[in-house]
A and B are shown apart, each in its own frame.
Chain A
Amino acid sequence: MVIAENTKAPPRPAPVPPRRRWRPWGADGVTGWALVTPAVVLIGIFGLLPVLMSLQLSFQHSDLLTPETPWVGFDNYRKMADDPVFLEAIKHTIIYTALFVPGTMLVGLLVAAAMNRSVRFISVYRTAAYITMAVSTISQGIIFLWLTDRDYGLVNAALNGVGVPSQPFLASPSQAIYVIVAMTIWGWTGFSVIVYLAALQGVPAELHEAAAIDGAKPFTRFRTITVPLLGPANLFLLVWLTINALQLFDEVYATTRGGPLRATTVIVYYLWDQAFVHFDAGYAAAMAYALFVVILLVTAVQFRLARRYAHHP
């Protein structure tokens, strides 16, 4: 393309129309506030106020029933450091998150890559992957309890078929957390496949064609063209899955209730247990705040790292 030489003087910028004087309490101001009021009231009461109440609660002793909630200073926070069950719960949460997040991303990417093509019945195949998203966490838990049953489970039958002896799975303190990892990866497959498929469909076909003409093999093209362009999807899944992994609760409740021998007691399970089973709401609020800070930190670090290593196309 030839760029025309600019011989004329640059055109004068169009005159800015005189801005109508903005009166904060004019008709617009009133309408604006009227429209946002329902949302502000609802989110104020159930989203903002609780954040402050929770902070207050974390410095008090509360059993959720008696109206007196005496101040206890930093006791609830100090208690966390000395509570072996809480420290164990942190360990389980870290193990879970460290396996679940990359596992889900890998499975999601592989399935999405396989399903990113226009063959017959592709929508049927994709539905098979998406559908896992609609299965409630409790249904999921019940199904996997049965699939991995020590005595009659389908998984053990398959293992026996290839010569591996039956495993106790969720009944075993050393295996239970890994079964929960596998189960939740299955449950999140639909979600991650959707995200990766959307990202893969955004990769321009011309790039692949050009590289193919230059002799790049399919795997090389995938590694050098597709993967870098998946950056935003990777970051989104990394952050979103991590936030959700740190908040694991339902699937544990539905399968192991934190057991056997507390082997699957994760932070939120312990927190719920302290607040609504043992009625130590102040302590639970302190744990919730600690979790909040950790989630904020982890998210900030992930964004920072992503910026550093991002490949900008």
Chain B
Amino acid sequence: MTVDVAGSRWRLPFSPWHLVLIPLSFLLVVPLLWMLITSLETEGEANHFPPVLFPAKPRFANYTEAWAQAPFGHFFLNSLTVTVVVLVSNLVVCSLAGYAFARIRFLGRGTLFVVLMATLMVPFQVTMIPVFLIVKWFGVNVWEGLGIDHIGALMLPNLATAFGIFFLRQFFQTVPVELEEAARVDGTSRLGVLFKIVLPLSLPAMSTLAALTVLTSWNDFLWPLIVITSEDQMTVPLGLSYFQGAHHVQWPLLMAANVMSLLPMLLVFIGAQRYFVQSVASTGIKG
């Protein structure tokens, strides 16, 4: 793109919008850059005013020290386990239910759908205290691993969401019904149709829901804060908050821990950005 300045032949070799977009983008990432810079400074450089913008020599030891002072490996493993279980469960359970609501006529379908969707309006604060009691009950009466202070308690209440059902049902309804009917005539079962025809056609919707589920599950904080107290059961955000409590003025160390905590999600986000963007855009415009 070029620009004509009235009355002259002078042309900018690039779009003038870059002059707006570069400072704007820079401003938006300053908080992240400042975190990264501080994570490479010495304690003396960080506790200096005006701030040292470029550390004399990057101090990578902040990372090894932070890693040694809290079980970040555990935090990552816990977050990963919880996220993977919640993701797989949501994709399976919500696609089964979403398909039934989209395509199969069964007694009470309409009422059931409305009742399930009503839970979308309930804020988490209303349910969190009873869910705490229910999870505690599961831990005592069913299996300890599902109870308070176990990562099972982080998975159990999130295995299926009304939003996932709604989202997939909306998408399944757009899959041409003729394809399904042809397969049904050939004797394919309902489940066969779902897995062989509908799901392969629904990969964009599934990826979008997956992105949203991963982001929500990985960054969840309030629920882990309520149910988890042992360090070895903490997820990344809770572990980071715990680390913050212990090292709240050792900024380089805290920032190194922060960078480590953010890195996996940032990489996943950049790698699958299309789906994350789609997940917000589709809830925002259609929802």
Q: Residues of A at under 8 Å CB distance from B?
A: 22, 24-25, 28-33, 35-36, 38-40, 42-43, 45-51, 53-54, 57, 64, 111, 114-115, 117, 119-122, 124-125, 127-140, 142-144, 146-147, 151-154, 156-157, 160, 186, 189, 191, 194-195, 197-199, 202, 232-233, 236-237, 240, 243, 246-247, 249-250, 253-254, 268, 271-272, 275-276, 281, 284-285, 288-289, 291-292, 295-296, 299
Contacts and interface: CB of A to CB of B under 8 A. Distances in A.
A146 B35 contact: yes
Given A137-B219, A247-B123, A299-B121, 15 more contacts: A28-B106, A33-B106, A36-B101, A36-B112, A39-B94, A46-B156, A46-B158, A64-B129, A117-B15, A125-B24, A131-B29, A134-B265, A152-B48, A249-B222, A253-B241
A130 B28 CA distance: 9
A186 B31 contact: yes
Contacts of A147: 31, 34
Contacts of B97: 35-36, 38-40
Interface string B214-230: 01001101100110000
Question: Which 4 pairs, one residue from A and one from B, show the smallest C-beta to C-beta distance?
Answer: A32-B106, A50-B130, A53-B130, A50-B127
Given A32-B105, A38-B97, A276 B226 contact: yes
Nearest to B266: A134
Nearest to B136: A64
Interface string B42-53: 000011111100
A137 B261 CA distance: 12
B25 A137 contact: no
B114 interface: no
B116 A43 contact: yes
Q: At the interface, is chain A mostly helix, strand, loop or mixed?
A: helix
A93 B116 CA distance: 29
Contacts of B285: 195, 198-199, 202, 232-233, 236
A292 B115 CA distance: 17
A43 B276 contact: no
B166 to A, nearest CB: 11
Contact of A38 (B93, B101, B107, B119): B93
A46 B285 CA distance: 28
Contacts of B175: none
Nearest to A52: B130
A30 B287 CA distance: 30
Consensus secondary structure, chain B interface: helix
B125 A139 contact: no
The size bracket of the interface on B is: 35 or more
B241 A254 contact: yes
B83 interface: no
Interface stretch (B57-65, B66-74, B196-204, B250-258): B250-258
B231 to A, nearest CB: 16
B176 interface: no
A292 B129 CA distance: 14
B131 A133 contact: no
A275 B129 contact: yes
Contacts of B167: none
Nearest to A157: B50
B280 interface: yes
Contact of A194 (B35, B277, B287): B277
Nearest to A197: B281
Contacts of B107: 24-25, 29, 32-33
A237 to B, nearest CB: 7
17 contacts: A29-B106, A32-B105, A51-B126, A57-B129, A57-B130, A114-B21, A115-B21, A131-B28, A133-B269, A137-B221, A151-B49, A152-B49, A152-B251, A154-B34, A154-B51, A233-B284, A236-B284
A289 to B, nearest CB: 6
Given A24-B106, A48-B119, A292-B123, A131 B270 contact: yes
B14 interface: yes
B130 A47 contact: no
Contacts of B218: 136
Contacts of A130: 269, 273, 276-277
A40 B116 contact: yes
B126 A292 contact: yes
Contacts of A144: 31
